[in-house]
Amino acid sequence: MIDKGDGAETDEQLFARYVRQADRVAFEQVFRRYAPRLQAMFMRSGAADIAGDLVQKTFLHVHRARADYQQERPFRPWIYTIALNVRREEARRRARSREIVLAPESVREPSVQPSTSSPTDRLVQRALNQLSDAAREVVVLHWYDGLSFPEIAEMLGATVSAVKVRAHRAYEQLRKILGPEAG
Amino acid sequence: MTTHGPEQDVLPRAPDASMAPAQLDQLWSEVARDTIDAKRSWLTRARELPTALRIALVVVGSIGISTLALLVVGGVRGDMVAQSLVGRHVLAMVGLAVLATTIFAVALRGVHRRPLGLLGWAAVALGVIIPLGLSLTPWVWQSASGPSAETIHGCNVIGTVTGLFAAGFAWLFQRTSTPAPLRLIASAAGGGVVAFGMLQLHCPSDDIEHLLLGHSIVGIILVGAALVFVGVRRLVLRRA
């Protein structure tokens, strides 16, 4: 939930207003809150070249699925679930059409733009790209997007302990990859 | 097990996710054009209904399509009441309705839900296997003097047309713009189950060959056609 504590509406309130009243301003506010985060998430997930397209697709699905949103449920895992599904579908589509697959080895350059990122960021991105899709997904959602393990577990359809184990192994793997270079 | 520790050593916090204002504005104008500012047709409105309602409408529509097909081909089999088969048939039809509803739910599952994976494919497989199994248990559909081999083709055609309409109707409520394989194949399997139910209500055959080749094969034909479509589409995409 994004609540800036300054009286601003929560994501849930904004999106509910959009669903009930087709309030354009409310939808735009939700978009402006989440588009940059989702774009960053897609970039870290190895889809830097199409991150903008994926954000657009995600919001198209958010719009189509708005009647399914329940206001009592947190909005953030809801929209991230859609974003992850969009990314997976795109990965499958590209794999089928033999384009560059969203796989670690196929990502040529760090997903963070060199002009705006430090050498460490680029190093970390390269390390992230070496993880499996499932491991990277958990790290990106947990570390970079700040989602809790229960939230991630709900999104992935796994138990909280399974997600914790996956995260632990992923972080260990990152430590191994980054150890010599980061040290 | 702790998961805090390693990341603090190795992972820097990401810089605040941000986009250039011009890029954000541009992206918003594109999103708004495709969503809230887009003209909504009746089809768009149908697809934007809550998922539970979409599934319910597809089930009701399938019952309507089956009823219409029954009216066109001459109604429910005449020997049902005479042989006191109503109770058994009602039970079988309720089972088939539950199966069709489950498969249509797979086809229409919202993108806000996590993917079903193998469970979805298992539901589709059941949609093909259960009618096949019911064809091998003719005592369920007991008949005194039912048609056999010579009417197989007729049942096949009627069933395929009915199944196609049911699958097509389900596809009308599909939100995805591209035919994701599981969704398309599940729609076809659901159509096959609907067609099987309609044929069992209409045709008094209890001949295994007739039931297999005239009735339950409809699901295989529809799912097969969907698989061929998916395969051809992949080939075309690869060559494009």
Tell me which of A148-162, B35-49, B61-75, B102-116 is least confident: A148-162
Q: Which helix (H) or strand (E) holds B51?
A: helix B51-73
B13 or B205, greater pLDDT: B205
Does residue B115 belong to the interface with chain A, where contact is any CB pair within 8 Å? yes
Instruction: Decide which of B27 and B180 is more confident.
Output: B27
Mean pLDDT on B172-192: 89
Residue of chain B whose alpha carbon sits nearest to that of A68: B50
Question: Quick one: pLDDT at residue B99?
Answer: 97
Query: What average pLDDT does this structure show over B31-48?
Result: 92
**pLDDT score for B164:** 97
| A156 in reach of chain B (CB within 8 A) | yes
The alpha-carbon gap from B100 to the nearest alpha carbon of chain A, in Å, equals 22
B9 vs B212 pLDDT, higher one? B212
Residue A49 has what pLDDT? 82
Q: With CB atoms and an 8 Å threshold, state whether A157 touches B47.
A: no
Chain A residues closer than 8 Å to B175 by CB: 61, 64-65
Could you give the dihedral angle defined by the CA atoms of residues A51, A57, A60 and A65, in that order, rounded to the nearest 10 degrees?
-110
Q: Give the position of tokens 């699901």.
A: B219
How far is the C-alpha of A33 from the C-alpha of A149, rounded, in Å?
22
Q: What's phi and psi for B227, nearest 5 deg? A: -65, -40
A85 interfacial to chain B (CB closer than 8 Å): yes
Tell me the pLDDT band of A66, cut-offs 50, 70 and 90: very high
Q: Name the most confidently modeled range: A15-19, B83-87, B180-184.
A: A15-19
What whole-number percentage of chain B has pLDDT above 90? 58
Mean pLDDT of B177-205: 90
Tokens of B20: 């250039």
Closest Cα in chain B to A29: B28
Rounded CA separation A39/B18 (Å): 9
Which band of pLDDT confidence, cut at 50, 70 and 90, is reported for residue A35? very high
Candidate from B1, B48, B113 with C-beta closest to A67: B48
Is the whole model's pTM more than 0.90, yes or no? no
- In Å, what is the CA distance from A54 to each residue of A31, A45, B15, B27, B230? 13, 12, 21, 11, 23
Find all residues with CB under 8 Å of B181, minimum gap 6, and list them: B230
Q: Chains A, B: CB contacts under 8 A, how many? A: 138
The number of angstroms, rounded, from the C-alpha of B123 to the middle of its chain's C-alpha atoms is 10
Tokens linked to B88: 């058994």
Output the six-digit token pair for B54: 């979409």
Distance CA B177, CA A86 (A): 12
Q: Please give the Cα distance from B216 to B97 (Å, whole number).
A: 15
Higher pLDDT, A110 or A29: A29
Q: Does residue B143 contact residue B79 with C-beta atoms inside 8 Å?
A: yes
Report the C-alpha gap between B102 and B87 in whole angstroms: 23
DSSP, residue by residue, B83-118: TT-HHHHHHHHHHHHHHHHHHHHHHT--TTSPP-TH
Nearest to A165 among B1, B15, B50 (CB): B1
How many Cβ atoms from other residues are within 10 Å of residue B154's Cβ? 13
User: What is the predicted pLDDT for the residue at B9?
Assistant: 56
Instruction: Answer with the residue of higher pLDDT: B140 or B31.
Output: B31
Exposure on the CB side of residue A116, measured as CA atoms within 13 A: 11
Measure B69 CA to nearest chain A CA, in Å: 33
A7 burial type by CB count under 10 A (0-12 exposed, 13-18 middle, 19+ buried):
exposed
What's the rounded Cα separation, in Å, for the pair B118 and B205?
35
Q: State how far the Cα of A96 lies from the Cα of A88, in Å rounded to an integer.
A: 12
Better-predicted residue by pLDDT, A68 or B11: A68
Q: What is the mean pLDDT of residues B145-164?
A: 84
pLDDT at position B205 is 83
Chain A residue closest in CA terms to B44: A64
Interface of B with A in 23-82 (CB under 8 A): 23-24, 27-28, 30-32, 34-36, 47-51
Q: Is the predicted pLDDT of residue A157 greater than 90, yes or no? A: no
Residue A178 has pLDDT above 80, yes or no: no
Question: pLDDT at position A155, please?
Answer: 84
Question: Would an 8 Å CB–CB cutoff place A20 in contact with chain B?
Answer: no
- Among B3, B33, B53, B230, most A C-beta atoms within 10 A, so best to mutate, is B3
Predicted confidence (pLDDT) per residue in B61-118, tens digit: 999 999 999 999 888 887 776 666 677 788 889 999 999 999 999 999 998 988 888 8
The alpha helices in B139-216, defined as continuous H runs, are 152-172, 181-202, 208-210
Are A12 and A66 a contacting pair, CB within 8 Å? Answer: no
| Residue B116: burial class (beta carbons within 10 Å; 0-12, 13-18, 19+) | middle
The whole-chain average pLDDT of chain A stands at 80
Cβ of B21 under 8 Å from any chain A Cβ?
no
Give the residue from A108, A70, A103 showing the smallest Cα distance to B51. A70
The confidence score (pLDDT) of residue A146 equals: 82
Phi, psi of A19 (to 5 degrees): -65, -45
Provide mean pLDDT across the span B203-208: 85
Tokens of B143: 């008949």
Residue B204: strand, helix, or coil: coil
CA distance A92 to B115: 13
pLDDT tens-digit readout, A110-128: 344 444 566 666 777 778 8
Q: Do B14 and A121 lie within an 8 Å CB cutoff?
A: yes
The answer to whether B180 touches B123, Cβ cutoff 8 Å, is: no
